[in-house]
Structure 1
């Protein structure tokens, strides 16, 4: 039985009330812990994001900017226009080799890299940051990465041209609907047999095993395998130099879509 009159409220919590004191301390401490926990976890979250970015871009896919017009009109990189950004998928070629018709990104052999200018700073610290940024996909790699189309693979013989100006693979003409810009070829006036030869003409070249013959879709403005026939690979590139297959255009929005790669029939 209580001594307090019925209906009388309990004493108000004041400064001397231990429950009130604990309630106040607990509330403030909870907010402080949450704030401190966020700032402690933020560096970990950033590190995890960077590691995931590195793993994805190293083993799965990477975005590349098209800087030149060698693949026009399939991939835009023309002067004055917005260069396409493409997603290059890296997994498929771990289980199969590139096939004729594929658009691939590859590291140019040494003979393709004479005009390569390093994008790295002369400052040691800045260069180190650039290298770290490259590993996580924030900075472009400092290497001669190129994009072209596979025309012939190891063991095939490629040359140009037949009587209609078409490329021959193993003696058979191939259909190339993606080529819209090429050197002139005029039957009877400018062919591979006339005194004034067509600039289309090259070969024949037999592609070494495990190598690829690469050409740009913009045939009149592409320094591709035709321009390197005197190097150690006869203008071809090793399959091991292939980084991945160009799958999608992701920017600009007006150009979004898949990269056409029709199988070359001969």
Structure 2
């Protein structure tokens, strides 16, 4: 026996000896799902994310009428963000908000929402505009008093005239910023409030064509009216409109107008 042979151990008996490349490859090879299973898994994850985003962050809606012209036109697609109203956050004067129908404010197709299986499913997860909602501007919040109108036809909020020229539709032949339920005739000499806690008073930007809070007030000539129907519960507010998404050529970010900054607190 040669010196090179002494003390040698056969390769097959070495405990830490080299393993064949085939055995290593088998152990390192990971299990991979079939393509159809991966597709279902990805769709399920996307569905959960879409539902979570709708519930907590963003939701798509459409403008159901001409009440918010000129800024928002009927059938415009908008995005609503909900973060501003998390926790103690509340709708602020001047916000454009989406809220659920308080009852009897909508009728017809606007109340029914989307038709067809696919649109209905997409609406459930926030990828398609839903029906049964309204879009208006917040004029008064809890404690505020709203009055129409001063000598220049301006809405008074806690006694301060609102300069609304930057967003209201300019109706030729009238200088009134109040509601106009009968054509271009201004509905003057009314006052409402204080707005109850947890409620808001809303109006459309197209005052001649907006079934808003001012249309649900009790008039002196009506004897069977239920007082307080003009105020919308803040619990019905879905969120604040912050993007005009479609049509593409009118894409815009919506901000609270400066006209509400100097409004005094409710007394």
Contact 1:248–1:258 (8 Å) recurs in 2: yes
For residue 79 of structure 2, the aligned residue among 87, 91, 96 is 87
Q: How far, CA to CA, are the matches of 2:175 and 2:250 in structure 1? A: 34
Q: How far, CA to CA, are the matches of 2:171 and 2:158 in structure 1? A: 21
Q: How far, CA to CA, are the matches of 1:185 and 1:130 in structure 2? A: 41
For residue 48 of structure 1, the aligned residue among 30, 45, 48 is 45
Unaligned runs of 5+ in 2: 1-21, 179-183, 219-225
Let me know the Cα RMSD of the aligned residues: 2.9
Q: What's 2:112 paired with? A: 118
1:133 offset after TM fit, Å?
3.8
Q: How far, CA to CA, are the matches of 1:202 and 1:258 in structure 2? A: 35
1:219 offset after TM fit, Å?
0.8
Q: How far, CA to CA, are the matches of 2:123 and 2:78 in structure 1? A: 17
Q: How many residues align?
A: 217
TM-score by length of 1: 0.71
CA 1:164–1:204 in structure 2 vs 1: closer, same or farther (change >3 Å)?
A: same
Q: Which runs of 4+ in 1 moved over 4 A?
A: 114-117, 129-132, 182-187
Q: How far, CA to CA, are the matches of 2:243 and 2:96 in structure 1? A: 11
Q: What's 1:155 paired with? A: 143
1:106-151: CA deviation from partner (whole Å, max 9, x where unpaired)? 1120132455653477xxxx77x7764432134543x521100000
Q: How far, CA to CA, are the matches of 1:182 and 1:151 in structure 2? A: 20
1:30-64: CA deviation from partner (whole Å, max 9, x where unpaired)? 9xx87x62111111111111111111111100111
Q: How far, CA to CA, are the matches of 1:179 and 1:120 in structure 2? A: 29
The answer as to 2:251 corresponding to 1:262 is: no
Q: What's 2:241 paired with? A: 246
TM-score by length of 2: 0.71
**Aligned-partner SS, 1:111:** coil
CA 1:132–1:202 in structure 2 vs 1: closer, same or farther (change >3 Å)?
A: farther
Contact 2:146–2:192 (8 Å) recurs in 1: yes
1:186-237: CA deviation from partner (whole Å, max 9, x where unpaired)? 79xxx9xxxxx94232521001121111000011111110111134534110
